[in-house]
Amino acid sequence: MSSKLTALNEWVDQVATHTRASQVSWCDGSAAENERLIAAMLESGDLEKLNPDTHPDCYLHRSDPDDVARVEHLTFVCTEDPDQAGPNNNWMAPAEAHALMKGLFAGCMEGRTLYVVPYCMGPVDSPLSRCGVEITDSPYVVVNMRLMTRMGADALARIENDGHFVKGLHSTGELDPDRRYIMHFPEELSIQSFGSGYGGNALLGKKCHALRIASYQARTEGWLAEHMLIVGIENPQGEVRYVAGAFPSACGKTNLAMLIPPAAYREAGWKVWTVGDDICWLHPGEDGRLWAINPEAGFFGVAPGTGNKTNPNALAMLDCEAIFTNVAVTEDNQPWWEGLDDRVPAKDWRGRDFDPRQGPAAHPNSRFTVSIKRCPSYSEVAESASGVPIDAILFGGRRAGLAPLVLEARDWRHGVLLGAGMASETTAAATGAVGVVRRDPMAMKPFCGYNFGDYWAHWLEVGSKLSHPPKIFQVNWFRRDADGRFIWPGFSDNMRVLEWVLDRCLGQAQVRETAVGGLPEDGAINTDGLEQHPDMEALLEVEPSAWLAELDDIAAHLEQFGGRVPGELRQELDRVATRLGEAG
């Protein structure tokens, strides 16, 4: 091993000694290694083989029933100064967190193999990518990391070249919820996660590295690490424009990233290309535009609700080489979840005979893991070292009322306010109550590794460096009528909104300026061919008194961050409120 890797070797030795691991295995990411790990997990019962005729090389993992989602209340950002982490994070002093974790990790790998997993977030040859090494005692984590990141020998070679990497230490421990912590040390570029095997808590490249640690790092280096999908829209002239979109967990990012345009659009020559479904790293380019890479190499998607109407591309990629976690199975051992089709499953996610009285067959946060390359709409630009230029940024939430289908920000500063004011109903992706409206700025509430006040200032700073910034829009696919029914059909028909958005980027489509932002003019959103004509007036309604109350609530939310909130953001809020008052 070269001298550049000394720090890595020393760290591995030190962890192996402290955890009393029985063996150390350096992962090279090869197919042979993957096969060995899968065979061992089939043997131990960690994985079950699914129907090899319908789903070759697909496996089911049933997690501990108490370990099925991210645990935000056990997730900490540990910086010397608590204000650095901000009220948006749980904070613990680094020394205290280190002492706590040292106690938990002591001897925890006795009788277990310690896997060293080198990985690269982003294309291995891209200057925008960043590497990490995860030490874990979970073979399930290793096989998932192989799908979700560029893992193994190439990543190790890059680490040797870079000379630095993010250190992630993980053990499933005893899966005891009372001995479970996800600790981030942004100042040390390190992560320690104990007591959970669930994706967002255990696949450390994803939320822990690519969002919490990377957002912190991005601030010091002048870029943005965001909870966003990246999608390319090709028009009939063959021009592709890229859109990034931030939506809270389980609000349809994966579906939007893989959208298939409605028939009339397809016939006219529109195509949609998938670049990423969850995380986006945005860098100001020399041309004054914002360039994006997807740091991930796979999807860790929510299974329930994925069906032929909502996301046929996802279904097509899930019939081979996928890992399913906490889904149900049919009589003939095919994976099944609510929203897939009308078959009745045989076993639920806990492996019990399915009985609807015991709740849904698949866990509401059950997941699939699969390589992005298996997606029929996968775009090879996902491998581009320079990334893709972004024309539009969407901020979306799940809101039954208030927020219109689409709203255009007047400029970057107004767009940052729309992002900072985002709110959404909570979902099953995290433990806790579902369906409660909470503020989720830029969909980063669970993922921003530093104080939101500083984060918004950083957004404004990045915008000031862009001579051609993307246009920013707020969208809401989830508005409901008085009877609680969704008004907008969503899914592939969201293409209609994207068309308007992209036309706006070219300065073409018609817009009606209002106090809160630009709305599509009557008839500007194409509704031709929709089975049912949606009530566009209700979808685009902006009710001044409700918005004034919303602005008050946003102001109160910003106040939590006190002096760290940039003055410009406060001024922007006042400006919108004044205009709204005048208009009212």
Active-site positions?
251
- Assess 374 for contact with ligand OXD (CB under 6 A): no
CB 295 within 8 A of CB 130: yes
Compute the least distance from the CB of residue 367 to Mn ion, in Å: 11
Compute the least distance from the CB of residue 200 to Mn ion, in Å: 8
CB 274 within 8 A of CB 379: yes
Compute the least distance from the CB of residue 71 to ligand OXD, in Å: 11
Nearer to ligand OXD, 198 or 477 (CB): 198
Reading the block at residue 310, the tokens are 């909502």
Compute the least distance from the CB of residue 328 to ligand OXD, in Å: 20
Bridge partners, 171 (sequence order): 194
Nearer to ligand OXD, 199 or 284 (CB): 199
Nearer to ligand OXD, 298 or 469 (CB): 298
With CB under 5 to 8 Å by kind, the binding choice for 421 among ligand OXD, Mn ion, none is none
Identify the residue among 300, 412, 450, 488 touching ligand OXD (CB under 6 A): 300
Reading the block at residue 449, the tokens are 């590794």
Decide: helix, strand or coil at residue 539.
helix
Bridge partners, 182 (sequence order): 75, 193
Q: Of 181-210, which residues contact Mn ion (CB under 5 A)? A: none
Nearer to Mn ion, 249 or 514 (CB): 249
Bridge partners, 246 (sequence order): 228, 395
C-alpha–C-alpha distance, residues 278 and 280, integer Å = 7
Q: Give whole-number Cα distances, 519 to 45, 208, 241, 411, 478, in Å.
A: 54, 37, 21, 14, 17
C-alpha–C-alpha distance, residues 186 and 209, integer Å = 9
Compute the least distance from the CB of residue 417 to ligand OXD, in Å: 23
- Assess 249 for contact with ligand OXD (CB under 6 A): yes
C-alpha–C-alpha distance, residues 251 and 227, integer Å = 12
Nearer to ligand OXD, 200 or 453 (CB): 200
C-alpha–C-alpha distance, residues 377 and 375, integer Å = 5
Decide: helix, strand or coil at residue 535.
coil
Nearer to Mn ion, 249 or 333 (CB): 249
Nearer to ligand OXD, 26 or 349 (CB): 349
- Assess 349 for contact with ligand OXD (CB under 6 A): no
Alpha-helix residue ranges (DSSP H) falling in 20-138: 31-44, 82-85, 94-105
CB 49 within 8 A of CB 41: no
Q: Which residue is nearest to ligand OXD (CB)?
A: 249
Q: Of 428-457, which residues contact Mn ion (CB under 5 A)? A: none
- The alpha carbon of 468 is separated from its chain's Cα centroid by a whole number of angstroms, namely 26
- Assess 226 for contact with ligand OXD (CB under 6 A): no
Q: Of 428-487, which residues contact ligand OXD (CB under 6 A)? A: 429
Query: In 277-366, where do the E strands start and end?
Result: 280-284, 290-293, 298-302, 323-325, 328-329, 335-336
Alpha-helix residue ranges (DSSP H) falling in 180-252: 199-202, 214-221
C-alpha–C-alpha distance, residues 493 and 549, integer Å = 31
Q: Which residue is nearest to Mn ion (CB)?
A: 278
Compute the least distance from the CB of residue 300 to ligand OXD, in Å: 6
C-alpha–C-alpha distance, residues 26 and 8, integer Å = 11
Nearer to ligand OXD, 199 or 298 (CB): 199
DSSP state of 426: -
What is the rounded end-to-end Cα distance, in angstroms, of the chain?
70
With CB under 5 to 8 Å by kind, the binding choice for 85 among Mn ion, ligand OXD, none is none
Kindly write down the DSSP assignment for every residue of 46-67, as one continuous string: S-EE--TTTSTT-EEE---TT-
With CB under 5 to 8 Å by kind, the binding choice for 300 among ligand OXD, Mn ion, none is ligand OXD
CB 60 within 8 A of CB 74: no
Q: Of 252-281, which residues contact ligand OXD (CB under 6 A)? A: 278
Bridge partners, 368 (sequence order): 301, 324
Q: How many CB atoms lie within 10 A of CB 258?
A: 28
Compute the least distance from the CB of residue 252 to Mn ion, in Å: 11
Compute the least distance from the CB of residue 419 to ligand OXD, in Å: 17
- Assess 249 for contact with Mn ion (CB under 5 A): yes
Identify the residue among 62, 70, 398, 439 touching ligand OXD (CB under 6 A): 70
C-alpha–C-alpha distance, residues 47 and 37, integer Å = 10
Q: Of 403-432, which residues contact ligand OXD (CB under 6 A)? A: 429
Could you tell me how many residues of this chain bind Mn ion (CB under 5 A)?
2
Identify the residue among 200, 295, 304, 449 touching ligand OXD (CB under 6 A): 200
With CB under 5 to 8 Å by kind, the binding choice for 197 among Mn ion, ligand OXD, none is none
Phi, psi of 548 (to 5 degrees): -65, -40
Compute the least distance from the CB of residue 445 to ligand OXD, in Å: 11
**Which span sits near Mn ion by CB under 5 A: 41-49, 113-121, 122-130, 278-286?**
278-286
Identify the residue among 46, 226, 277, 278 touching Mn ion (CB under 5 A): 278
C-alpha–C-alpha distance, residues 374 and 272, integer Å = 15
Phi, psi of 570 (to 5 degrees): -60, -45
Could you tell me how many residues of this chain bind ligand OXD (CB under 6 A)?
7
Compute the least distance from the CB of residue 542 to ligand OXD, in Å: 29
**Which span sits near Mn ion by CB under 5 A: 69-77, 162-170, 246-254, 341-349?**
246-254
Nearer to ligand OXD, 86 or 200 (CB): 200
Residues 6+ apart with CB under 8 A from 6: none
Nearer to ligand OXD, 122 or 469 (CB): 122
Judged by the rule CB under 6 A, the positions of this chain that interact with ligand OXD are: 70, 199-200, 249, 278, 300, 429
Site residues, Mn ion (CB under 5 A):
249, 278
